Structure 1
């Protein structure tokens, strides 16, 4: 059975955009208490692009920037930086500092930088950056949330109705089942079933299902088995919240977004994409293949190299 790459970036980014208030309430309650939630936070995606434009930090980064208002009616910007690399990165704290001062320099507003560490190294907990030279001292301290710490709180996560309890559980079990697709399918089913049993509203079940389904990637045969089990469960409970049509629509939307991401990266990094290459990409419907092609699009140095990667990734496996 072929192994597929997990997808952490998109589920985290989507969840942050949809559930920003629960995010702060779950991970950073002190920051949450500073904000006047009667005023709608504003997502600043264009402004964030200016701040991170020259970053070469790669795919395993999720950044979001929000404009909020404090309880004293003052405007504040919150820069949320989610690190989901599986390995320790020496430049992480420095990058947090750079993004913080760029945001302040560009917009002259107080900036709160926050980091969620989703890696697998328990002792890696960067929370500050600074230097002292010739009497000049510069420093930044920033709050962090380490996802590994929540493994010891699993029972609390199972009881919580905060959407990010579900996201954390999915993240931890996706990491824990790397290389074991059958175990991942079992955990994926358990987490999705829990959405119904916790009493989430229909719209939240669908959004959180999308996050779990996108993050906890499975080989096609196991994904089909998972969906069949979900259909049987809904029929037995007479709760058809996620119909076959909705499941297919979710999958179709994810595939189309993945195709567009590959083409956008190729256009930005290399040159205009040929109609022939567009046709090839449009004929690919396997989400795991498209995610591999997206990684290739980010790393190759020419369209020729990408074509070679495309042929290698889509070549039928003749060894098994």
Structure 2
């Protein structure tokens, strides 16, 4: 059984935006306690494109920049980096340092750099970058949250009312079941059932269901079973919280259209499209990935380059 492609970056971006204070409270309480949450915060994602305009196409990271106010009245910027694909990256600490000083240089605002690591290497915990030369020393130390550590805190994840308890459980069980779709189905149903048992608000149920459904990808036959059971949970709760079931049906049509659009663009630009590319595109079932491929198809220089993009896509995407 091959691993189901999972879009990690889009769900994480969405859930961080939806629950930014809870994100910091869960992973980085020192940063949370320093911020004045009575004042509005603002995401500044356009800054990321200016920090690294030539970023590698298809590289799956979650970077968020937010402008916040400290309790002492100072305006600072929070740079959040989530290594969502969970791969060892020797340049990770250097990139954290580079983003930090570029933000400071551009805006002369102090920057809080934070990192969430979702890799599978127990001992890989980069939390600083620096160098010393001829008596000159520069360095950056930054807090990290290692998702692997939460496996030993599973009971705490189950008990917390912070939405990121549910987010971390879904992420860990997705990473643990790449070739066991039956097990993933049972965990997915278990987590959805918890949404109803925890007494979340309607908005929280919808948002967290969306994350769980989005990240825990299932084969088509098991996805149908999931829909049926999830719908029975809704009926048992006597409230139609999870409008995402209807969204799933609608998304199936969007996926098919997105595949056709990407292939049609390639045919229009290059004529014959090899079956290897067609099969690869038809094997992708996440709208966000297909949208990115469509944009690439419009500007890519050749079919060989497009095939390279497909080959270099993380298998978990």
Q: TM-score range with shorter-chain normalisation?
A: 0.7 to 0.9
Query: Which residue of 1 is the match for residue 172 of structure 2?
Result: 172
Distance across 2 between alignment mates of 1:36 and 1:206: 28
Task: Provide the rounded CA distance (Å) in 1 between the counterparts of 2:10 and 2:224.
Answer: 22
Match of 1:15 in 2: 15
Q: Please tell me whether the aligned partners of residues 261 and 294 of structure 2 are also in contact (alpha carbons under 8 angstroms).
A: no
- For 2:109 and 2:80, locate their aligned partners in 1 and report how far apart those are by CA, in whole Å: 15
Q: Is the 8 A contact 1:173 1:184 kept in 2?
A: yes
Contact 1:6 1:215 survives alignment (8 Å):
yes
* 1:247 pairs with 2:245: yes
* Pairing 1:44-123 to 2, within 5 Å after superposition: 44-56=44-56, 58-123=58-123
Q: For structure 1, which segment, 85-94 or 17-26, has the greater mean C-alpha deviation from structure 2 after superposition? A: 85-94
Cα distance between partner residues in 2 of 1:116 and 1:61: 11
Whole-Å Cα distance in 2 between the matches of residues 275 and 199 of structure 1? 55
* Aligned length in residues: 302
- Which of structures 1 and 2 has the larger relative contact order (alpha carbons within 8 angstroms, sep 6+)? 2
Structure 2 counterpart of 1:291, from 289, 292, 300 = 289
2:304 alignment counterpart:
305
> Which ranges in structure 2 are unaligned for 5 or more consecutive residues?
312-317
Alpha-carbon distance in 2 for matches of 1:11, 1:27: 17
Counterpart mapping for 1:261-276 below 5 A: none
Name structure 1 gaps, 5 residues minimum: 313-320
Query: Would the aligned equivalents of 1:184 and 1:216 in 2 still touch at CA under 8 Å?
Result: yes
The 2-side partners of 1:289 and 1:13 are apart by: 15
Q: Say whether residues 1:218 and 2:218 are aligned partners.
A: yes
**Residues 38 and 256 of structure 1: is their aligned pair in 2 closer, same or farther, counting only changes over 3 Å?**
farther
Q: Is the 8 A contact 1:262 1:297 kept in 2?
A: no
SS in 2 for 1:96: helix
Distance in 2 of aligned mates of 1:254 and 1:103: 40
| Secondary structure in structure 2 of the residue aligned to 1:97 | helix
- 1:249 is displaced (CA, Å) by 2.4
Question: 1:46: how far off?
Answer: 1.2
Aligned-CA RMSD value? 3.7
* Cα distance, 1:242 vs structure 2: 2.0
Separation (CA, whole Å) in 2 of partners of 1:255 and 1:99: 39
User: What is residue 156 of structure 2 aligned with on the other side?
Assistant: 156
Q: Say whether the 8 Å CA contact 2:84–2:118 is kept in structure 1.
A: yes
